[in-house]
Structure 1
């Protein structure tokens, strides 16, 4: 990797609440008091979104606006591939977490023969499919897309043909499915799950380092354990959803806040360990929603985490 590039994805059509498309601008606003702003220091690029679909009738209730999400995935996959192919390190800033499926597809398009490990820092497991989702929101499905597991054993929905066809396109994107093994996922902070997701977590023995475990054993210990568990992986991707943090301590400025999350300093400590690993090829931050925030506190907190994270990447991965 020769340099860091910020990749902006303002698509929020995978989320159930409105406002996450403004999260990147909220981050930029939070950076204005920083004389060494990341947005001034590093080049940035963005993909086109389909947020205009929010104004139109949705015809796919088991995967809301999934045809638009296929388009977003295609653009994001291509952009991530292009950045990696030109020796850039993508720092992805996305509105909703549906984005991650496209990011993973882009990584695998560039490195089809490499084994990818995913560290998912989130209050949610995001392992639903159109067959199991209670909400239809596709930001709850990116990992199921990536491991290509429909979880038919937990089926509660009967998706229509349009939904199924679009879902298959998501899974097959990049002509590689699955894109990663479920055993190569490690969770941090997951604490709000439904039965179908819990079934897959148990089926695939996906490790979840809970907030309580991280505090009991120490964040460094848990981070090292996670990296050791992914020891056979060639590449690493870290995805950070701000709802992994405690809303009562930080902010409710995210679409699906869940109590009893991490403190910002704990996230910084975790990132310090994970982002120093030489296998790291991409990091992503998602789900900042200033419409649900007060005085931009979520973005202010997230910007400090982002800045420290990028400094670690610059020092340990890029240079």
Structure 2
């Protein structure tokens, strides 16, 4: 790829229900993300970490914005900072590589990427992330970012939703296998395209991912790839907060990223890449972070031959 990559770390676990995912950016850096990309000939600079408040800094009784969205004001503030850093990277001609942290950080990443250009999204995830505060069984915002980005439900009047230049028709979720009842209904009623693991079983991962890319590139200025490591089967990626059996295999994940490279990165359509939900506390010898590095490298140009 011709553009430089700028790493932005977001050590946030406010949106999750387990501690530890805030150490994800450090784990991915320790696994050698910069060295791997430099080895591909991709210039990589590290923009450091976005400041994130600790849950302990708040009184527990004030840890929710209302009863159904934990730490939403703090998450919104962090996402504003993420959006500013991402926007600065784009203005400098860099491709932001955002390291999480829990998946709520995507609200900021997409906000920064779509300030001036229309954006398509390929969202690799076991979960729909399409809950709202009213429908979420847990109140954890990492189960809401896609709904927040698209202005669903109570998020309709949020500043980020009004500023985001993303249409539902250009969003594709890949690898769904754990969806709440209300979330399932909301996805079906939306214009988002969703591919389940059953679709991957029946059609093969490359056909499904190719169609997802077509959805995200149809009439848009660029594509954001948001990769939750729980998209993979827990046998491949054990260090995630919400593992779900029946995910994609190691080779299916790499085949998907290699296809993304050919159809998105090489064409100059890649606006940003995001790696989220790596939890070193739950990992085994940092293998999930190492896998995240490998997949980022495949998406950005690493090939077998």
| TM-score, normalised via structure 2 length | 0.87
User: 1:196-239: CA deviations, max 9, x gaps?
Assistant: 11111110243222233224322222222222233232321110
- Unaligned runs of 5+ residues in structure 1 are 151-163, 314-319
Deviation at 1:88, TM superposition (A): 0.8
Label 1:257 to 1:39 Cα distance change in 2 as closer, same or farther (>3 A). farther
What is the rounded CA distance, in whole Å, between the counterparts of 1:37 and 1:280 in structure 2?
Answer: 19
Label 1:175 to 1:195 Cα distance change in 2 as closer, same or farther (>3 A). closer
Q: 1:291 aligns with which of 257, 281, 294?
A: 281
User: 1:247-284: CA deviations, max 9, x gaps?
Assistant: 0x214210100000001211111111123323221111
| Count of aligned pairs between the two proteins | 290
Indicate conservation of the 8 Å contact 2:8/2:98, yes or no: yes
What is the rounded CA distance, in whole Å, between the counterparts of 1:78 and 1:215 in structure 2?
Answer: 39
Which residue number corresponds to residue 14 of structure 2? 13
Label 1:181 to 1:175 Cα distance change in 2 as closer, same or farther (>3 A). closer
Label 1:139 to 1:256 Cα distance change in 2 as closer, same or farther (>3 A). same
Q: Counterpart of 2:113 in 1: which secondary structure?
A: helix
What is the rounded CA distance, in whole Å, between the counterparts of 2:16 and 2:131 in structure 1?
Answer: 14
Q: 2:177 aligns with which of 188, 191, 199?
A: 191
Indicate conservation of the 8 Å contact 1:47/1:79, yes or no: no
Q: Counterpart of 2:30 in 1: which secondary structure?
A: helix
Q: 1:310 aligns with which of 289, 300, 303?
A: 300
Which residue number corresponds to residue 232 of structure 2? 245
Q: 1:119 aligns with which of 115, 118, 122?
A: 122
1:191-230 equivalences under 5 Å are 191-230=177-216
CA RMSD of aligned residues (A): 2.3
User: 1:24-50: CA deviations, max 9, x gaps?
Assistant: 222222229x9x444896211134333
What is the rounded CA distance, in whole Å, between the counterparts of 2:215 and 2:75 in structure 1?
Answer: 32
- Unaligned runs of 5+ residues in structure 2 are none
What is the rounded CA distance, in whole Å, between the counterparts of 2:248 and 2:80 in structure 1?
Answer: 33
What is the rounded CA distance, in whole Å, between the counterparts of 2:272 and 2:4 in structure 1?
Answer: 12
Question: Stretches of 4+ moved more than 6 A in 1?
Answer: none
1:68-107 equivalences under 5 Å are 68-107=74-113
User: 1:171-219: CA deviations, max 9, x gaps?
Assistant: 3238525x42222211111111111111111102432222332243222
Which residue number corresponds to residue 45 of structure 1? 47
